[in-house]
Each structure stands twice: as C-alpha cells, then as structure tokens.
Amino acid sequence: MRLAALFALGAIVAPPTLAQELPPLLKPRQDVAITYRLPTPPFAGGKHRLQTFVAAATGWQRQENAGLVGITYPEAKRRYMFSTNRQDAL
C-alpha cells in the first residue's frame, strides 16, 4: 500500500525533463518530388499512383492522384482539393 502511494506520488511530481521530446520536423532542404505506385489499380488497365511535390522554401505541398489535386499550406493550416475531371463539375 505504501509502495503504491509512493509510486503515485512520484508519478504526479515527476520532473518535466522526463517527458518525451517532439521528433524533429521533416522539412526538406530542397524541392522534392515523390511518386508512389500502388500494385493494384483502381480499374482494369489503369495506373494507380500518387505524386507529391514539396517546395522547400514555403513548405507547400501538392498531391496529384487520378483526377484530384490537393494543395496544402502548412503555415495557414489549410488543405484544398480540386477535381480535374470535367464530369465532376457538371
């Protein structure tokens, strides 16, 4: 009983230096283009791939995937998605 109380007290007053630090941010030093290819296409004869472009100076990201374009603005904490398929606009 005393050991449990001592352990609980130690956990409550633990110094903040024992807390885990955040991992380093993954920020590239130069512009990067990454292409992911998936083994199973979404439809017969199609290619399933996702392209990601990262601008080192601004941190902006652009993702392109089968008719969709996504743009991420990290400083504004915003993400926009656009469709490049004309039938989606009708």
What lies within 8 Å, CB to CB, of 80 at 6+ separation is 70, 71, 72
**From CA 52, how far away is CA 36, in angstroms rounded?**
8
Q: What Cα–Cα distance (Å) separates residue 73 from each residue in 65, 87, 90?
A: 18, 27, 28
pTM, rounded to two decimals: 0.57
Could you read off the pLDDT of 1-58 as tens digits, one per residue?
A: 566 665 665 556 555 555 667 667 777 889 999 998 877 766 666 667 889 999 988 8
Instruction: Spell out the domain ranges in the chain.
Output: 20-89
- 84 burial (CB, 10 Å; 0-12 / 13-18 / 19+) is exposed
Q: How does pLDDT run across 42-77, given as a tens digit for each residue?
A: 666 666 788 999 998 888 999 988 778 999 988 888
